[in-house]
Chain A
Amino acid sequence: MKILVCISNVPDTTSKINFTGDNKEFDKNGVQYVINPWDEYALTRAIELKEAKGGSVTVLNVGEADAEPNIRKALAIGADDAIRVNAHPKDAFFVAQQITAVAKEGGYDMILMGKESIDYNGFQVHNMVGEMMGIPSVTPAFKLDMVDDSTARLEREIEGGKEVVEVKLPFVASAQQPMCEPRIPNMRGIMTARTKPLKVVEATGGEAKSEYVNYSKPEKKSGVKLIEPENAGELIKLLRNEAKVL
């Protein structure tokens, strides 16, 4: 089974988010980058399936060279090889086109990724790839197992419940917890990752359909109003009469 796992290189959750150039660009200064936490679920589940059923796991990133340390980290966790499409990921549509081009060329049985990236929070790419390739996309999935060699069984979250879906290979799925327990690389993994193949390919044309023009930050909270625990009931009155949310 050939599995393609798409990963994004994103600012660590604890990063301070700032913008430069008149709020037109994200300020990378001092920001630590990590594998998108949602993508880690997809990656680990792919490796688990490979260990159980055989096959290979290829990691794909659409991004610039500064993503390579995290691509190597994915290899250290257990992916076999990696592809980086050398391009600035302009928007979801652009990224989906790049993934589709790589996926068509490689003939993968399964294309997995996280349900969204924690930087642009799009929740778009997986369904776009499914549509571009004309194969099912099951998102967001929190369970993924093989029924037999050609059929997978997934459970996906819908508002207020879940759906159980069985699809034939190939398909696209996006992952969310509790699909698996994400792994961290061990020493042996880190050593072998250095020699695993990482291929860099150029973007295949592809257009963006949106344009990020400006960023802003939410207004700062004015500070917490503390109520004494003995008078906790006062809070309910404040919520009704002052905050007007009850």
Chain B
Amino acid sequence: MSVLVFVEGLNGEIKKSSLEAASYGSQVAQAMGTTATAVAIGEVHEEALAKLGEQGISKVLYDADDRLKQFVADAYVKVIATAAQQESAKVLVFSNSNIGAAVGSKLAVRLNGSLATNVTELPKIDGGNFTVTRGVFSGKAFADVNLTSDVKIIAVKKNSTDIISNGGSTATVEKLSADLAESDFAAAPKETVMQDTGGGVLLPEAEIVVSGGRGMKGPENWHLIEELAKELGAATACSKPVSDIGWRPHHEHVGQTGITVSPNLYIAAGISGAIQHLAGVNSSKVIVVINKDPEAPFFKAADYGIVGDALEVLPKLIEAAKALDK
């Protein structure tokens, strides 16, 4: 019996959201009196894998099959299922990413397990009950859910778990080889196109997000959003109207029908805060709203606010951010 954590790589390193999943998994393992093993697929540096020891992982199983460099759901499922069987895993932990939740859902069917996605807290394990808390109603509530099957699969919401750091601990890295067939790659992508973040931060992984709405008055003013984001090490985002009229690409749209983010800090400039927008950002830890309309509904959800024109306020923030000791 053990806990198995699936970790995702990006440019050879482990994604922050996967370090969170690893930290979550090792804490569950400790509560259950067992150890946590990670499974990694694709292109990740071996040193990065060994460093998962800092998050409490004792062993990493690594499948370096070249065909797995890009995400192929059926093949990934087979590799993780192989690892789960080898480790007799009773709890599987993923990041609640498009990849993690997809693979978790398929494994729930294959392993006949209970699945909870969007999980925000460590489980309560009490006798026979294994209860997790997950976000529901688009951030307006939480639900406690009993996972009733023998195998439990958890996809952890991003930025809801602190990353543990046992400095210096290393995990042993072992090769894993699943028996992959051609048919496992039938739905392999023909093409993968990564966004050019211009060396900036990827929105779904960001700890700080600077977001603009129609109050920015036009795409020509977006350099203010980008500059502040750069100074703060933040990702940039926008409201739905802004992506609808084509000022910004759709993948930057946060809100009910866009991306849901839960950063430590969300700065909204010139966004009124329609309920659809709030649904995508309401689990951010600290919200800053800059809007010239003091009646903008977003102020009700904000921790800090500035009533003023975003185009005049942002340059002051950029200046102050430049003056910070980094």
Q: Verify A226–B305 contact, CB threshold 8 A.
A: yes
Q: Verify B303–A221 contact, CB threshold 8 A.
A: yes
Q: Mark B286-308, 1 if CB is under 8 A from A, else 0.
A: 10110000000001111111111
Count of B interface residues, CB-CB < 8 Å = 98
A136 to B73, CA, bound (A): 9
Q: Verify A121–B136 contact, CB threshold 8 A.
A: yes
In the complex, residue of chain B having the shortest beta-carbon distance to the beta carbon of A235: B304
- Indicate which residue in B73, B148, B317 contacts A210 across the interface (CB closer than 8 Å): B148
Q: Mark B129-158, 1 if CB is under 8 A from A, else 0.
A: 001011111111111111111000000000
Q: Verify B136–A93 contact, CB threshold 8 A.
A: no
Q: Scan residues 211-241 of chain A and give those whose CB is less than 8 A from a CB of chain B.
A: 211-218, 221, 224-229, 232-240
In the complex, residue of chain A having the shortest beta-carbon distance to the beta carbon of B10: A160
Q: Verify A159–B98 contact, CB threshold 8 A.
A: yes
Q: Verify A131–B137 contact, CB threshold 8 A.
A: no
In the complex, residue of chain B having the shortest beta-carbon distance to the beta carbon of A238: B304
- Indicate which residue in B10, B139, B208 contacts A218 across the interface (CB closer than 8 Å): B139
Q: Scan residues 188-211 of chain A and give those whose CB is less than 8 A from a CB of chain B.
A: 208-211
Is the interface on chain A under 10, 10 to 19, 20 to 34, or 35 or more residues?
35 or more
Q: Verify A232–B313 contact, CB threshold 8 A.
A: yes
Q: Is chain A's interface secondary structure helix, strand, loop, or mixed overall?
A: mixed
Contacts A119-B136, A229-B308, A243-B265 known; A165 to B190 CB distance under 8 Å?
A: yes
Q: Verify B106–A140 contact, CB threshold 8 A.
A: no
Closest 6 CB pairs of A and B: A229-B308, A233-B320, A127-B105, A232-B316, A163-B189, A161-B194
Give the interface of B toward A (CB within 8 A): 10, 15, 70-71, 73-74, 77, 96-99, 101-102, 104-106, 108-110, 113-118, 131, 133-149, 186-195, 197, 202-205, 208, 232, 243, 250-251, 253, 256-258, 264-265, 275-276, 279, 282-283, 285-286, 288-289, 299-309, 312-313, 316-317, 319-321, 323-324
